[in-house]
Amino acid sequence: MKRIILIIGVAGITLIAGCAAHSSKPVIDPAGVDMAQYEVDVAECEQIATQVEQKAGERAAGGALVGGLIGAIVGGSDSAVKGAGVGAVSGGARGTADTQREKAKVVKNCLRNRGYKILN
Give per-residue pLDDT as tens, 91-115.
666 667 788 888 899 999 999 999 9
Give me the number of domains the chain comprises. Answer: 1
Task: Tell me, yes or no, whether 64 lies in a domain.
Answer: yes
The model's pLDDT over 41-92, given as tens digits with 9 standing for 90+, comes to 999 999 998 888 765 556 556 666 666 666 656 665 666 566 656 666 666 6
Task: Tell me, yes or no, whether 27 lies in a domain.
Answer: yes
- What is residue 31's predicted lDDT score, i.e. its pLDDT? 96
- What is residue 33's predicted lDDT score, i.e. its pLDDT? 96
- What is residue 21's predicted lDDT score, i.e. its pLDDT? 46
- What is residue 61's predicted lDDT score, i.e. its pLDDT? 62
Task: Tell me, yes or no, whether 47 lies in a domain.
Answer: yes
- What is residue 51's predicted lDDT score, i.e. its pLDDT? 85
Task: Tell me, yes or no, whether 118 lies in a domain.
Answer: no
Task: Tell me, yes or no, whether 119 lies in a domain.
Answer: no
The model's pLDDT over 5-46, given as tens digits with 9 standing for 90+, comes to 556 655 555 555 554 445 568 999 999 999 999 999 999 999
- What is residue 75's predicted lDDT score, i.e. its pLDDT? 60
Domain span at 61? 2-113
DSSP assignment string, 19-80: HHT---PPPB--TT--HHHHHHHHHHHHHHHTTS---HHHHHHHHHHHHHHHHHHHH-HHHH
- What is residue 30's predicted lDDT score, i.e. its pLDDT? 95
Task: Please tell me whether residue 112 adopts helix, strand or coil conformation.
Answer: helix
